[in-house]
Amino acid sequence: MKIMKYINLIVLMAAIATIVSCQPQNKKSTAKNTTIPNRKWWKEAVVYQIYPRSFKDSNGDGIGDLKGIISKLDYVKSLGVNVIWLNPIFASPNHDNGYDISDYREIMKQFGTMADFDTLLNEMHHRGLKLVLDLVVNHTSSDHEWFKQSRSSRTNPYRDFYHWWPAERGKPAKRFSFFDVNNNAWRYDSTTNAYYLHYFARSQPDLNWENPKVRQAIFKMMRFWFNKGIDGFRMDVIPFIAKDTTFPKMPAKYHGNWAHFYANGPHLHEYLKEMNKEVLSKYPNTMTVAEGAGVTIGEALKFVDPARKELNMLYNFDGMSLGYIPGTYKELDPKGVKLVDFKNVYSRWDSIYENKGWGTIYLGNHDQPRMVTRWGNDSPQFRALSSKMLTTFLMTMRATPFYYFGDELGMTNIKFDSIKDYEDIETLHEYQHLKNTGGNLKKFLDNQKMVARDNGRTPFQWDTTKNAGFTTGKPWLKVNPNYKTINVAAEEKNPNSVLSYFKKIIQLRKDNLVLVYGKYTLLDKENPDVYAYTRVLNGEKVLVLLNFTTHKASAKLSFDMNKAKLLIDNYNTVPDANAVKTFTLRPYEAAIFELK
Ligand code: NOJ
C-alpha cells in the first residue's frame, strides 16, 4: 500500500511538473506558421538600453566606455535581446551626461574613438545585434561650434541656427526651463544684447528648426550615421523641436502644462515628414522611436500612423507620471499608485494601436528611478519576485519592450542621503532652486531617494570584486553597496535568479508571437490587486496574471483551467492546483498560461 501511494505520488508530481514547468515552452513552429500582417523586426525586438557611462569601464578612469561595452557584448547577446539603444556617445562637455552635444560626428573622449565605434558596430552586427543611437536635436551644447558662431554677432551666418530675442524689444514671454535654477528658459547674453532660448539647461540652447539650413544640417548628420550602418534612432524630446517664433504667451488651453505646449509647435509634423522623406525613407529597414514628452494619447498616431510617413514608434509618459502629485516637481503622492489607474493607462495606450501604429512599453530608463523600487518592492523579501513580475508585464504586452540595463538583475535605487552624492543636473539645479527660494530641502532630498535619475544611473553590477567589477578606478557615481549580492556573476549561476528569469521570458516571447502581436484584453478591470489579461492570435490564447501586492490575491475569471498549461511562473515552486483553478496568486506572483 505504502509503495503504491509513493508511486502514485511520484506519477502525480511528474505530471504536475510537466504541466507546471517554469521553463518557457518552445513553440518555434507556431511562431513561424502564423500569418500576421505588417510584421516588422522592430515590433518583435526587445530593446536593451545601455547607459554607456555606467556599463563597463575599460581604462580605469571611472567612466564606462565603448571598449567596455565591446568586452561585454557576449553578455548582452546571452540575454536574448536584439537591439541595443545607447544614450548619447557624442562629443560633449557632459553637463547633462551627453544630452548636450558639442559635435555630432565625434565620439565623446571619455567613451573612446570613432575606431572604437566602428568596432562596436561590427562586433554587434556580427552577433546579430542591432544598434540604435540617441538623436539629440532639439538643442545642442553651448560649446557646439554652431552656437559659438551664433552668439558671436547678430550678423553671423549661424545666428539663425538658434532662437534669439533682441533685448531692445523688452523681456520675452515666459518660457519654463526644465533644468534652470530659476526655471527660466530665456538666458540673457551680453555679447549681442539678446536672450537665447533653452528648454533645458543654459548650456543646452534650442536649435531653430524653422531655419531650413538647420534641418538640412541635421538630416546630413543623420545620413552620416545611417551610412555607417546604424539601425535606428531614439529621438530625444523630438516633439519639442517646432516653435512659434513670435513667442506669444503660453495659450490658456495648455493650463500651465509646459511639456504639452512645447510638444505642439506649429510645423512639427511637417518637419518629421521632411525628415522621413529626406532621410528615413532612404534607410527602410531601420527603426525610429520618439521620446513622446508632452504628447497626449490623442496625438500619438500623428507620429506613428504608417500612412503619415513620419516615425515608427513613440514612448509615452502617462504610466511614468502616475503617483506624482500634479503640478509638483516629481513629488510622490504618499497614497501611492492605484493598480486600477495603472491598468487603465496601459490599456488605453494599447487600444489606440489596435488598427494602426505600434506601441512601446518600459518601466525604467536613465530618466527614471529603478523599476523595482518605483513599481515593485525592493525589500529583500520581495525584490526578486516583484522584479520578475514587472518583467513579465513588459514582455507580455502588445508593444516593443524597451528594457533598461540592470533591471534584468533587479538593481535597486541607491537612495543617497546627501546632495553631495548626486551628479545629475536635474537634482542639483532643483536643489539650488529650492535653496534660493527657501524651499524644504529635507523633504526634497527624501523624495529624491525615490525619484532621482541618479538612482537609475549607478554603475552596473558585474561581480563581487571592487566597484562591482565596473571599474578599477574611482567610479563617476557611487556603486550601490548591494552589489555583493546583486550582480551578474552570482545571478548567472543561479537558475532562479532575476537574470535567469529574464532570459527565459525573452525566449518565451520570441517563441510565441501571440505575446507580440496578439490582441490584448483586460480582464477583471476593477480588481485592485491583480492585473489580468489575455492575448489572442489566430486561435492561440494566453492568460497573463500578475499580483502587484505583498499578499495573496485572486482574480475573478471564468476560464476552464483544467486544460490550461502553465508556460512560466516567477515562483520556483509549483503552484497549488486549487489556487490555479481559483486564480489565486501568491505575493507578486506572475504566471502565464496557455488556454485551450
Ligand atoms: C530627455 C533625456 O532622456 C534626458 O536625459 C535629457 O536630460 C533631456 N531629454 C534633455 O536632452
Q: Which of 51, 89, 99 to mutate to test the pocket of ligand 1 (most atoms within 8 A of CB)?
A: 99
Q: Give SS3 for 498.
A: helix
Note the pLDDT of residue 369: 98
Report the alpha-carbon distance of residue 11 to residue 3 in Å, rounded: 12
**Closest Cα to atom 11, ligand 1: which residue?**
99
Residue 236 annotated to the active site: yes
Give the ligand 1 atom nearest the CA of 96: 7
How do residues 352-387 score in pLDDT, each as one tens digit?
Answer: 999 999 999 999 999 999 999 999 999 999 999 999
Q: How confident is the model at residue 221 (pLDDT cuts 50, 70, 90)?
A: very high
Give the ligand 1 atom nearest the CA of 99: 11
Note the pLDDT of residue 525: 98
Ligand 1 mean position to 468 CA, how many Å?
A: 27
For ligand 1, whether the C-beta of 96 sits within 6 Å is yes
- R_g of the chain, CA atoms, integer Å: 25
The answer, yes or no, to whether residue 16 has pLDDT greater than 70, is no
Give the ligand 1 atom nearest the CA of 200: 10
For ligand 1, whether the C-beta of 540 sits within 6 Å is no
For ligand 1, whether the C-beta of 404 sits within 6 Å is no
Ligand 1 mean position to 120 CA, how many Å?
A: 24
- Report the mean per-residue pLDDT for the chain: 94
How many degrees, rounded to 5, is the angle at CA 291 between CA 361 and CA 206?
165
Note the pLDDT of residue 329: 85
Report the alpha-carbon distance of residue 346 to residue 359 in Å, rounded: 10
The answer, yes or no, to whether residue 31 has pLDDT greater than 60, is no
Report the alpha-carbon distance of residue 364 to residue 387 in Å, rounded: 12
**Closest Cα to atom 8, ligand 1: which residue?**
99
Report the alpha-carbon distance of residue 438 to residue 441 in Å, rounded: 8
Ligand 1 mean position to 95 CA, how many Å?
A: 11
How do residues 321-352 score in pLDDT, each as one tens digit?
Answer: 999 998 888 999 999 999 999 999 999 999 99
Contact 453, 440 (CB under 8 A): no
Q: Which of 136, 137, 144, 295 to mutate to test the pocket of ligand 1 (most atoms within 8 A of CB)?
A: 136
Ligand 1 mean position to 71 CA, how many Å?
A: 27
Give the ligand 1 atom nearest the CA of 139: 11
Give the ligand 1 atom nearest the CA of 367: 5
Ligand 1 mean position to 426 CA, how many Å?
A: 10
Q: Per 3-state DSSP, what percentage of the chain is helix, strand, and coil (rounded to 5)?
A: 40, 15, 45
> Whole-angstrom distance between the N-terminal and C-terminal Cα of the chain?
36
Q: What are the angstrom distances between the C-alpha of 180 and each of 66, 175, 385, 434, 444? A: 31, 11, 39, 12, 17
Ligand 1 mean position to 575 CA, how many Å?
A: 43
For ligand 1, whether the C-beta of 233 sits within 6 Å is no
In which order are the strands placed within the sheet that holds 540-547? 519-523, 530-537, 540-547, 590-595, 565-569
Which has the closest alpha carbon to 372: 480, 466, 234? 480
Mean pLDDT to the nearest integer, 199-215: 98
Q: Please report, to the nearest 10 degrees, the dihedral formed by the alpha carbons of residues 92, 330, 291, 376 taken in order.
A: 110
Q: 65, 206, 236, 424: which is the annotated catalytic residue?
A: 236
**Closest Cα to atom 6, ligand 1: which residue?**
99
Mean pLDDT to the nearest integer, 550-572: 96
Ligand 1 mean position to 61 CA, how many Å?
A: 24
Q: Give SS3 for 276.
A: helix
How many degrees, rounded to 5, is the angle at CA 21 between CA 18 and CA 26?
90
Q: Kindly tell me the burial class for residue 267, based on how many C-beta atoms sit within 10 Å of its own C-beta (0-12, 13-18, 19 or more).
A: middle
**Closest Cα to atom 2, ligand 1: which residue?**
236
Mean pLDDT to the nearest integer, 418-443: 97
For ligand 1, whether the C-beta of 289 sits within 6 Å is no
Give the ligand 1 atom nearest the CA of 136: 11
Note the pLDDT of residue 574: 85
**Closest Cα to atom 10, ligand 1: which residue?**
99
Report the alpha-carbon distance of residue 581 to residue 491 in Å, rounded: 32
Angle between helices 441-451 and 425-437 (to 10 degrees): 160
Give residue for cell 490599456: 347
Mean pLDDT to the nearest integer, 49-67: 99
Report the alpha-carbon distance of residue 576 to residue 262 in Å, rounded: 53
Mean pLDDT to the nearest integer, 438-463: 98
For ligand 1, whether the C-beta of 236 sits within 6 Å is yes
β-strand partners of 545: 532, 591
For ligand 1, whether the C-beta of 393 sits within 6 Å is no
For ligand 1, whether the C-beta of 85 sits within 6 Å is no
Note the pLDDT of residue 34: 57
Share of the chain above pLDDT 70, in %: 94
For ligand 1, whether the C-beta of 206 sits within 6 Å is no
For ligand 1, whether the C-beta of 280 sits within 6 Å is no
Residue 388 has which C-alpha cell?
520578475
Ligand 1 mean position to 365 CA, how many Å?
A: 11
Give residue for cell 535581446: 81
Q: Which of 96, 203, 240, 368 to mutate to test the pocket of ligand 1 (most atoms within 8 A of CB)?
A: 96
Report the alpha-carbon distance of residue 277 to residue 270 in Å, rounded: 10
Residue 411 has which C-alpha cell?
538593481
How do residues 223-269 score in pLDDT, each as one tens digit?
Answer: 999 999 999 999 999 999 999 999 999 999 998 899 999 999 999 99
Note the pLDDT of residue 8: 40
Q: Which residues contact 37 (CB under 8 A, 6 or more apart)?
A: none
Contact 411, 374 (CB under 8 A): no
Residue 330 has which C-alpha cell?
516629481
Q: 291, 430, 491, 511: which is the annotated catalytic residue?
A: 291
Ligand 1 mean position to 262 CA, how many Å?
A: 14
Ligand 1 mean position to 406 CA, how many Å?
A: 20
Ligand 1 mean position to 89 CA, how many Å?
A: 13
Report the alpha-carbon distance of residue 309 to residue 273 in Å, rounded: 6
Report the alpha-carbon distance of residue 46 to residue 437 in Å, rounded: 44
Mean pLDDT to the nearest integer, 474-502: 98
Q: Which of 141, 203, 314, 367 to mutate to test the pocket of ligand 1 (most atoms within 8 A of CB)?
A: 367
For ligand 1, whether the C-beta of 431 sits within 6 Å is no
Phi, psi of 43 (to 5 degrees): -80, -30
β-strand partners of 148: none
